[in-house]
């Protein structure tokens, strides 16, 4: 699994509220950290292009929803697959002041588009957390397996310290 792609970076930048200068600094940091093969300018152009495509996608979704509901839309969420959602979460912890994400398991599943917790889903989530270097904590200590967590119990997600 590719750790982070341009789409993940663009989504991350679209959800954080930073100045244009800080956005450029974050892109430069990502360029260095990901050891991108092309030039920095090429990397920035690719990210900017993806940001524009996201803007177009969001505007299309807003137009579709407004035509269906015939009223103004206050907020819009991107469709997220599991890996993409967790990658954006990791980027937020790496490149903003947020050291952790505190969330209920039920809320996480809802954000990912699931209504129920299955053994297969929990195994996939545990594997994704492992691959992305994310640690899950519950009150009182480290949680090795999400199946040990109650649906309405809070978990804290942090970057694995090396």
Q: Where are the domains positioned within the chain? A: 1-94, 99-162
Question: Which class for 113: exposed (0-12), middle (13-18), buried (19 or more C-beta within 10 A)?
Answer: exposed
d(CA 17, CA 24): 13
How confident is the model over 65-79, as a mean pLDDT? 49
**pLDDT value for 111:** 84
**pLDDT value for 121:** 86
Assess whether pLDDT exceeds 70 at residue 82: yes
Contact 129, 143 (CB under 8 A): no
**pLDDT value for 4:** 82
Assess whether pLDDT exceeds 50 at residue 68: yes
Nearest 5 degrees, angle CA 131-CA 15-CA 134? 20
d(CA 160, CA 162): 6
Encode 19-41: b = buried (16+ Cβ within 10 Å), e = exposed: eeeebeebbeebbeeeeeeeeee
Contact 31, 40 (CB under 8 A): yes
* Half-sphere exposure in the Cβ direction for 85 (13 Å, CA): 16
Assess whether pLDDT exceeds 60 at residue 71: no
Longest dimension (CA), the chain: 51
DSSP assigned state of 113? T
Give the residue from 96, 93, 97, 60 showing the smallest Cα distance to 79.
Answer: 60
Could you give the percent of the chain with pLDDT greater than 90? 7
pTM, rounded to two decimals: 0.62
């Amino acid at each position: 699994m590719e750790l982070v792609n341009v789409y993940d970076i663009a989504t991350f930048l679209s959800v954080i509220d930073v100045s244009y200068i800080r956005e450029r600094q974050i892109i430069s940091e990502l360029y260095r950290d990901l050891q991108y093969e092309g030039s920095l300018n090429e990397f920035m152009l690719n990210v900017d292009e993806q940001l524009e495509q996201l803007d177009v996608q969001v505007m299309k979704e807003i137009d579709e929803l407004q035509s269906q509901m015939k009223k103004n839309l206050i907020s819009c969420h991107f469709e997220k697959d599991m890996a993409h959602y967790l990658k954006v979460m990791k980027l937020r912890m790496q490149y903003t002041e947020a050291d952790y994400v505190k969330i209920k398991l039920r809320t996480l599943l809802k954000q990912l588009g699931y209504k129920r917790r299955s053994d297969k889903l929990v195994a996939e989530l545990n594997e994704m957390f492992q691959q992305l270097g994310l640690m899950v904590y519950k009150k009182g200590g480290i949680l090795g397996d999400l199946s040990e967590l109650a649906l309405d119990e809070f978990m804290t997600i942090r970057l694995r310290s090396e």
